């Protein structure tokens, strides 16, 4: 696959900028930690632990146990919610029983549970990090200290300080030869890999426009009612993480990042700036109770690449409206459907004109038999790199697309045009000291007002931070 081009409008290489920030880590982050090479022999069983036992974590663990690249075994689990951990354990045990060895004393609960789970592994094993992304830097820090290979879900950061911190940490991970996968599964969808190759080879000419859409009803924990009395603020905000920008980047980052990522890949560049709009519309439940989450119901972002090309992304979480979950690329010689339905749903297709009529279709691109599951592909690719000691680290790209996604979100929330550097250098750290949480009575990053409402973005009023 072709490499992404990382140049901003002024001609400055973003890769050079990121390397500059990363050199700080090489000198300071985790100073004194031993730096062994981290890989596993091809005949070893690779042991797994996972931190964050929700639906995505459970799915990732099942994928890791299903890989065709050698034997794997799950030996430890960690979460802050006992019921969620137990449900996940029962699910995985039912599906992959012979590969699951997680007795009660290796099922850890609490804010320090991630350390206990990783302590069960040896260097070269794999930890799966699938908590809300606000905690990614906390858990990645300890994985580096332990010399573990890592699979982490996207996004990997939700604000500028966390993004910079992840880049610094990753410089240390690279020196330790850690293999790190990031759950941007479009990159492992074989039909999209083929489309990217053809687009980069000029099959549809120069790209002149890209379009992405994710419009459907509310999903996940997008909307939240006032906190019930039986939960602390911290419990509630972590439990309903899609509702809180500090925890997840809001629905924008969690829902929209895949399409933003693969359209940037097709362009072979990253957007350098964004301007956007969005709004909160029907903000009461059917019973008339106000929703108190921080999300906008609609987003529309104009991303601009260094050469002036535009990428438009529209997102909506509202019932009763037109649904569209797809992405498109337009060039001087033709056009392409990247994703027909979903984050990376195939088959992709290339057309000789700008209208995706079947009569004008030049090529239909499907994943090969046995490689249709991009979630499994990303695990096969990671495990192959571990067993063959190949260089494999997706963190820098994961941080970049997390920041590009957040740049669009912040442009909508502030009402300003923002550059990549504006976002990356913003000093608003939404949830500092997450590594110091002790229990559910620890201070939450947000405090509700007397009516149970949390701060929301106010475009044009709060212009240098999101709330």
> What are 290-342's pLDDT values in tens digits?
999 999 999 999 999 999 999 999 999 999 999 999 999 999 999 999 999 99
Evaluate if residue 42 carries a pLDDT over 70.
no
Give the model's pLDDT for residue 26. 38
Task: For each of the domains in the chain, give its residue range(s) and CATH number, in order of start.
Answer: 14-186+376-395 (3.40.50.720), 190-372+404-419 (3.30.360.10)
pLDDT tens digit sequence for 144-160: 999 999 999 999 999 99
Please state, rounded to an integer, the average pLDDT across all residues of the chain. Answer: 92
Evaluate if residue 4 carries a pLDDT over 90.
no
Q: Which band of pLDDT confidence, cut at 50, 70 and 90, is reported for residue 134?
A: very high
pLDDT tens digit sequence for 354-393: 999 999 999 999 999 999 999 999 999 999 999 999 999 9
Tell if the pTM clears 0.75, that is, is over it.
yes
Evaluate if residue 17 carries a pLDDT over 90.
no
Q: Which band of pLDDT confidence, cut at 50, 70 and 90, is reported for residue 43?
A: low
3-state secondary structure string, the chain?
A: CCCCECECCCCCEHHHHHHHHHHHHHHHCCCCCCCCCCCCCCCCCEEEEEECCCHHHHHHHHHHHHCCCCCEEEEEEEECCHHHHHHHHHHHHHHHHHHECCCHHHEEECCCHHHHHHHCCCCCCEEEECCCHHHHHHHHHHHHHHCCEEEECCCCCCCHHHHHHHHHHHHHHHHCCCCEEECCHHHHCHHHHHHHHHHHCCCCCCEEEEEEEEEECCCCCCCCCCCCCCCCHHHHHHHCHHHCHHHHCHHHHHHHHHHHHHHHHHHCECCCEEEEEEECCCCECCCCCECCCCCCCEEEEEEECCCCCEEEEEEEECCCCCCEEEEEEEECCCEEEEECCCCCCCCEEEECCCCCCHHHEEEEECCCCCCCCHHHHHHHHHHHHHHCCCCCECHHHHHHHHHHHHHHHHHHHHCCCEEHHHHHCCCCCCCCCHHHCCCCCCCCCCCCCCCCCCCCCCCCCCCCCCC
Give the model's pLDDT for residue 282. 84
Query: What's the whole-number mean pLDDT along residues 389-401?
Result: 98
Give the model's pLDDT for residue 6. 39
Evaluate if residue 397 carries a pLDDT over 60.
yes
């Amino acid at each position: 696959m072709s490499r992404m081009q990382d140049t901003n409008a002024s001609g400055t290489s973003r890769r050079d900028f990121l390397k500059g920030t990363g050199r700080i880590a090489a000198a300071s982050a985790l100073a004194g930690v031993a730096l062994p090479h981290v890989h596993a022999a091809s005949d070893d069983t690779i042991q797994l632990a996972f931190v964050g036992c929700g639906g995505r974590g459970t799915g990732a663990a099942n994928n890791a146990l299903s890989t065709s690249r050698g034997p794997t075994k799950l030996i430890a689990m960690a979460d802050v919610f006992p019921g969620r951990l137990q449900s996940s354990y029962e699910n995985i045990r039912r599906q992959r029983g012979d590969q699951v060895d997680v007795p009660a004393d290796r099922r850890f609960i609490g804010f320090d549970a991630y350390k206990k789970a990783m302590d069960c592994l040896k260097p070269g094993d794999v930890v799966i990090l699938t908590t809300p992304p606000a905690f990614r830097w906390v858990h990645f820090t300890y994985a580096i200290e332990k010399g573990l290979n890592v699979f982490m879900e996207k996004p990997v950061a939700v604000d500028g300080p966390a993004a910079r911190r992840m880049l610094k940490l990753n410089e240390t991970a690279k020196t330790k030869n850690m293999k790190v996968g990031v759950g941007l599964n479009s990159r492992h969808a074989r039909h999209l890999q083929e489309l990217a190759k053809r687009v980069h080879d000029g099959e549809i000419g120069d790209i002149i426009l890209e379009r992405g859409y994710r419009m459907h009803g509310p999903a996940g924990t997008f909307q939240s009612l006032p906190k019930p009395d039986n939960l602390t603020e911290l419990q509630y905000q972590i439990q309903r993480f899609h509702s809180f920008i500090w925890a997840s980047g809001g629905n924008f980052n969690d829902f929209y990042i895949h399409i933003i990522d693969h359209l940037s890949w097709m362009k072979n560049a990253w957007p350098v700036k964004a301007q956007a709009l969005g709004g909160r519309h029907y903000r009461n439940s059917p019973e008339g109770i106000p929703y108190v989450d921080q999300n906008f119901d609609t987003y529309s972002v104009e991303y601009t690449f260094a050469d002036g090309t535009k990428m438009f992304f529209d997102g909506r979480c509202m019932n009763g409206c037109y649904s569209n979950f797809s992405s498109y690329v337009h060039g001087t010689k033709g056009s392409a459907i990247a994703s027909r339905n979903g984050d990376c749903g195939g088959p992709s297709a290339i057309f000789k004109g700008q209208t995706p009529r079947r009569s004008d279709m030049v090529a239909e691109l499907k994943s090969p038999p046995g490689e249709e599951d991009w979630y499994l592909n990303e695990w096969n690719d990671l495990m192959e790199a571990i067993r063959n000691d190949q260089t494999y680290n997706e963190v820098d790209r994961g941080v970049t697309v997390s920041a590009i996604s957040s740049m669009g979100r912040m442009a909508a929330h502030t009402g300003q045009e923002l550059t990549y550097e504006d976002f990356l250098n913003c000093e608003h750290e939404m949830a500092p000291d997450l590594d110091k949480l002790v229990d559910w009575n620890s201070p939450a990053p947000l405090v509700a007002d007397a009516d149970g409402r949390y701060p929301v973005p106010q475009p044009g009023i709060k212009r240098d931070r999101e709330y």
